Structures are given as C-alpha cells and as structure tokens.
C-alpha cells in the first residue's frame, strides 16, 4: 500500500506582526497510517492544579457515599462532569504544621516545611508542578503557566513569622525560587499569543486593529487551503474562542477606563465581578491547553488570609474572618457558600474542557487536574482531612464518579507522586510521601 497523505507538523504556528498563535490538534497533523487515538492522547500529558484558600466546611464538602451518585452541597455543581471526578477524604499535610495560612499555601504543592523566617532567606522545596514541567513542559512554548486572582504581592511578614513569599506563590522551581503568578488576563493573553516588540509597541498595534486575529488573516487563508473541511471547522472554532476571550478582556479594560474609582484589591482592567474574572482566567487555561502552549498550569483562586468579599452570591463578609467562624452556624453557612461558588467555577471549566474535542476524545479526557486546599478546618488551622478532588480522564487511566475514604490520614505527597506517575514523570518519592495512591486511578472500561 502506498500512502500519499501529507501532514503538517504538530507545532505549526500562525504568525503575524508581534504575535504567534499555536493551533489545536488537527487531523492534518496526524501522520499517515498513525492511529489518531495514539497520536492525540499519548504524547500530550497535561497536569493542572487549582488552589482553594482557607479550607472549607468539610461537613458540606464530603460526599455521603462511596461514589458521587449523591453529591454534597458544596460539590453539587459537579453533577454534569462527576464521571470525571474523584473526591478523596483524609489526606494531610504534616509539613504544614504548626498550622498557619502561610504554610497552607506553601505546602499545598511542595508538601515541604517552610523555613520560619520573615526575611529573604526563605526556603521551601520544588513544587510538584515544576517537577512535572521539567519533563513534560520542555517541548512547549511555556514550560508552565502560573495564574492567580489577586495581583497584590505583599512583602515582609504576613502570618505567624513567615515571609509573605510563602503566601504569594504556589509554584517554586527550586527551594529558593518562587514563581510569581499573573492575575491580569491581558498579560496572560499576550504571554500565550504575543511575540516580538515591546509591550508598548504591541499595545499600539492593537489599538490600530480590532483584534489580534487580524494579524493572522493571510496565514489563516494559506492554512485553510491545506486543510480538509473538518480541520477548517476546528480552526474556525478555536479562533472564534480566542476572539471571544479577547473581546471580554477588551470590554473589561474599557469598563475600567470609565471607572474613576478602581478596586485596589484587583488588577486594573479586569472584570468587576469575581466570577467574570475567574471565568476569563479559566478560559485562558483552555486556550493554553488546546493550543499546546503549555502542559502544566497552577491557579490560585485567592490568597490565604484574603479579605475578598463575594456580594454577587450574597456574601458581603470578608472571607478570612468567616473562615475563623468560632463554630457560629451563620458564619459557617456563608463560608460554605464561598466554597460552593469556587467549586462551581471549577465545574464550569471542566465542562468547557469536556466540550472541546481533541483527537479521539476531548481536552478533559486528555488532562488531569487537582483541586483543593492546604487547610481542612480553617477555624483551627488544621492541615488534616483536606478537601481534595482529582478530575480528568488522564488519557483513559482514570475512572471517576468515586469517593475514596482512607481510614487513617495519608500524605498529600502520595497523591502528588501518583499524579506525576500518571503524566509520565517517574520518581521513587516526593517530599514526605510513603507510596503512590494507585487506587485513585482505575482505568475506564473499554
């Protein structure tokens, strides 16, 4: 048999003045005689982490049974994607003690003990995302992507004698190198698609054009001449998604310019409502994964000790004081509403991944995300019985819809070690791990 099909490289880019755009996986990128399923799934392993600050009301979080047929109040929004989700009960962060908000944040991805210091001689450990990025992130434009919702970078001492660097940063590329996260959608957008020229030059060029996509018109037309109808439809859908995200960023910037009293707790030029800002940050993650711009992402929904309020869901109280509720039922209920709100935004993100076709499945089929907090009961700064979810298809390696309960606490580092293994990073141990949690991953039925 003579095979004549030509294919384009997986790392094909559209290029315009001051911008570069990666493309989603297309049929035309699959070499002839290569099964699409194998090409689509195996080479691209994606790992993400979403951090929920200040624990939760664990009674409203914990599913009542061994499966997710009945969801708890906080997790109820996960119903449309529960077959991709596993809840895990009784994981702990022993190295986060003595209990604090600073160590909740710092230990979540490192499982390491933070050096007690208020100065610049801080010391932690390399975080799990960066361990993964060093192996699975080297073939992409960005080895990893660090995102947050809060721009404010506090300095000095923040919590119980710990330097603010421990609360500011989830990701550390070495024990002494924290990686700052970006909260501004425009800057993230430009990191995904901007290339060449100074920031001022790119902004001036954007003012002359309605959209960054205008820069790619010639390249798009040239590419479409090489593609079949199915691939042209995929490219069109991807570009429309990029255009919609860009439009929402532009609207937020316009609204901010018209507002003489900006909110100092948020970056200038982001949507006024928390949910709209978070959705933009999640949608940017979808674009980054879809275009294979990065394969490793961390996202901090808010910093520990955040005093953000959530009037859009009827909670005008600052989050941090609510977390120290003193067992007041009214305060616990309002804190649980925040917990439920955060989870609902993650559920929307998972639905978007599920609705984005890729190869023989979807982005959700080919991704793996951990969602959770470094604190269990925030009222007492407890780092035991953490609220933890694992979501995604893991390329067919994970069966969701389950609730795994351990009789005795197990290190969260065991889960990190297992996640690394599932994306092809083999280690004997990670931080204070005592072994892998293979029971979390049961292959989906063929």
Where do the domains of the chain lie? 1-34+191-269, 44-183+270-440
Tokens of 355: 């609705």
- pLDDT of res. 30: 74
- pLDDT of res. 2: 33
Whether 15 and 219 have beta carbons less than 8 Å apart is answered as: yes
Burial of 393-413, coded b for 16+ CB within 10 Å and e otherwise, reads bbbbbbbbebbbeeeebbbbb
- pLDDT of res. 446: 45
Residues ≥6 apart with Cβ < 8 Å to 432: 94, 95, 111, 411, 413
- pLDDT of res. 396: 77
CA distances from 167 to 159, 247, 284 (A): 9, 32, 23
Q: Spell out where 301-365 has E strands.
A: 357-358, 361-362
Whether 318 and 251 have beta carbons less than 8 Å apart is answered as: no
Q: How many CA atoms lie within 13 A of 361 on its CB side?
A: 20
- Name the residue among 166, 171, 113 with its Cα closest to residue 147: 171
- pLDDT of res. 38: 42
What does the pLDDT look like over 289-315, one tens digit per residue? 999 999 999 999 999 999 999 999 999
Burial (CB < 10 A; 0-12, 13-18, 19+), residue 182, is: middle
Regions of the chain short of the pLDDT cut 50:
1-5, 36-43, 196-197, 261-262, 264, 444-446
DSSP secondary structure of 130-144: HHHHHHHSTTSSSS-
- Name the residue among 309, 311, 315, 307 with its Cα closest to residue 333: 315
pTM of the model: 0.89
Q: How many CA atoms lie within 13 A of 252 on its CB side?
A: 26
- pLDDT of res. 255: 74
Residues ≥6 apart with Cβ < 8 Å to 336: 56, 57, 60, 73, 74
Query: 20 - beta bridge partners?
Result: 15
Whether residue 237 has a cis bond before it, omega within 30° of 0: no
- pLDDT of res. 261: 47
- pLDDT of res. 184: 92
- pLDDT of res. 37: 42
- Name the residue among 331, 225, 351 with its Cα closest to residue 282: 351
CATH 3.40.720.10 is the classification of domain 44-183+270-440:
yes
Whether 98 and 104 have beta carbons less than 8 Å apart is answered as: no
For residues 66 and 69, give the distance between their C-alpha atoms in angstroms, rounded to a whole number: 9
Backbone angles phi, psi at 362, to 5 degrees: -135, 170
Length in residues, the chain: 446
Q: For the chain, how many helices (H) and strands (E)?
A: 13, 15
| Helical residues (DSSP H) of 395-435, grouped into ranges | 412-422
Residue identified by tokens 């721009």 is 151
3-class secondary structure, 92: strand
Whether 44 and 59 have beta carbons less than 8 Å apart is answered as: no
Burial of 316-329, coded b for 16+ CB within 10 Å and e otherwise, reads ebebbebbebeeee
């Amino acid at each position: 048999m003579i095979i004549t099909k030509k294919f384009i490289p997986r790392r094909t880019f559209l290029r315009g003045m001051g911008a570069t755009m990666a493309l989603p996986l297309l049929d035309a990128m699959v070499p002839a005689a290569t099964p699409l399923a194998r090409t689509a799934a195996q080479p691209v392993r994606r790992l993400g982490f979403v951090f929920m600050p200040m624990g939760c009301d664990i009674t409203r979080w914990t599913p009542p049974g061994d499966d997710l047929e009945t969801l708890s109040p906080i997790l109820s929004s996960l119903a449309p994607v529960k077959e991709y989700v596993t809840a895990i009960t009784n994981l702990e962060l022993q190295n986060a003690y003595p209990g604090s908000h600073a160590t909740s944040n710092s230990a979540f991805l490192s499982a390491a003990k933070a050096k007690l210091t208020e100065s610049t001689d801080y010391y932690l450990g390399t975080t799990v995302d960066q361990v993964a990025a060093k192996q699975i992130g080297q073939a992409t434009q960005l080895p990893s992507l660090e995102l947050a919702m809060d721009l404010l970078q506090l300095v000095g001492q923040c919590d119980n004698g710990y330097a603010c660097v421990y609360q500011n940063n989830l990701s550390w590329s070495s024990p002494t190198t924290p990686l700052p996260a970006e909260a501004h959608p425009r800057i993230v957008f430009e990191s995904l698609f901007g290339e060449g020229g100074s920031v001022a030059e790119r902004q001036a060029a954007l003012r002359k054009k309605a959209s960054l996509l205008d820069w790619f018109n010639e390249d798009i037309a040239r590419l479409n001449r090489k593609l079949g109808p199915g691939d042209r439809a995929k490219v069109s859908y991807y570009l429309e998604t990029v255009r919609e995200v860009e439009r929402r960023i532009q609207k937020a910037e316009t609204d901010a310019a018209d507002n003489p009293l900006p909110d100092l707790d948020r970056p200038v030029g982001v949507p006024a409502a928390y949910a709209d800002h978070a959705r933009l940050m999640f949608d940017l993650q979808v674009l980054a994964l879809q275009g294979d711009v990065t394969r490793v992402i961390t996202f901090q929904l808010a910093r520990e000790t955040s005093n953000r309020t959530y009037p859009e869901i009827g909670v005008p109280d600052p989050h941090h004081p609510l977390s120290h509720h003193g067992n007041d039922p009214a305060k616990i209920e309002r804190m649980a509403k925040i917990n439920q709100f955060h989870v609902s935004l993650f559920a929307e993100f998972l639905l978007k991944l599920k609705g984005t076709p890729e190869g023989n499945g979807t982005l959700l089929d080919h991704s793996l995300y951990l969602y959770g907090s470094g604190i269990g009961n925030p009222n007492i700064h407890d780092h035991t019985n953490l609220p933890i979810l694992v979501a995604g298809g893991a390329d067919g390696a994970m069966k969701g819809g389950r609730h795994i309960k351990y009789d005795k606490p197990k290190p969260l580092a065991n889960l990190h070690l297992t996640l690394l293994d599932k994306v092809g990073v083999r280690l004997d141990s990670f931080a204070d791990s005592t072994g892998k949690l293979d029971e979390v991953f049961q292959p989906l039925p063929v």
